[in-house]
Amino acid sequence: MQRSIILPVATRYLMPLMLVFSIFLLLRGHNEVGGGFVGGLVAASALMLYAISTSPSALWKLLPLDPRFIAAIGLFISLFSGFIPLFYGKPFMTGMWIETPLPVLGKIGTPTLFDVGVYVLVIGVVVWILLEFAEDE
């Protein structure tokens, strides 16, 4: 089958943009529209776009880790963020914040970390499920 050249070329520019945008969504989530879940979905779309325009196995090579691990790491990050307050004698999942906002990132606290975990998990899960459906031709 003749492959179109348009999609691969477009993806080469779109994918990094979408990934950056997804991180932007993740970080602004606490104050503006956005958040880890939708950010993860956008990032996953970007990765899947790449898989469609090249091949699923190319995406396998591109990913630093098996998507199963990515999903597990995400879940672990979220869970871990809940445990941090325990070390300060506060109940599980109490929101704790760093006093001074960091440059670029803004205010950072355990909910931020929790959202990062959601973001990573959603990328892992979606890519994992979709790649299960995908087959190299």
Partner 1 sequence: MTALSITILAGFLIAILAPFLTRLMKHRAAFVLALYPLAVVMQLLALQRGSFTAPSIQFPWVPSMGLWMTFTLDGLGFLMGMLIAGIGTLVILYGGEYLRDDPYLERFFLWVIIFMASMLGVVTSGNALVLFVFWELTSISSFFLIGYKFEYESARAAAWQALLVTGAGGLAMLAGLVLLGQITGSFEINQWLQNPKLVQESSLAPAAFILILLGAMTKSAQFPFHFWLPNAMEAPTPVSAYLHSATMVKAGVYLLARLFPVLGGLALWNQVVPWVGLLTLVGGALLALGQTDLKKLLAYTTVSSLGGMVFLLGLGTPLAVKTAMLFLLTHALYKGTLFLVAGGVDHAAGSRDIRKLGKLAKLMPFTTLAAGLAALSMAGIPPLIGFISKEYVYESTLYYSNLPFILTGLAVLANVANVAVAGWVGIRPFWQQPEQKDEDLHLHKESVWLWIPPLVLAITGLFMGVFSQGAAQTWVAAATSSVLQEISKVKFSLWHGITPMLILSIVTLIIGVVVYLTSRTLIPGLAAFWKKLSFVGPNLFYSRSMRAFLSVAGWQTKILQSGYLRYYIITIIVTAVTLAVVTLATRYGRLPNPQWTQPRFYDVIFIVIIITSAILVTRAVSRLATITLLGAIGFSIAILFLLYSGPDLAMVQFAVETLTVILFVLVIYQLPKYTKSNYPIQANVLNIIVSVAGGVMMAVLMLLTSAVPSNSTLAPYFMENSLELAKGRNVVNVILVDFRGLDTLGEITVLMIAAIGVFALLGLKKGSKSGGNR
Task: Give contact residues for partner 1 (rule: CB under 8 A).
Answer: 25, 29-38, 41-42, 44-45, 48-49, 51-52, 56-57, 60, 66, 68, 71-72, 74-75, 78-79, 82, 92-93, 95, 97, 107, 109, 111-112, 114-115, 117-118, 121-122, 124-126, 128-130, 132-137
CB of 55 to partner 1, least distance (A): 9
Least distance to partner 1, CB of residue 12, Å: 17
β-strand partners of 106: 102
Nearest CB to partner 1, comparing residues 105 and 132:
132
C-beta of 104 vs 136, nearer to partner 1: 136
The CB-of-78 to partner 1 minimum distance in angstroms stands at: 6
Distance separating alpha carbons of residues 27 and 108, to the nearest angstrom: 10
CA distance 4 to 15: 17
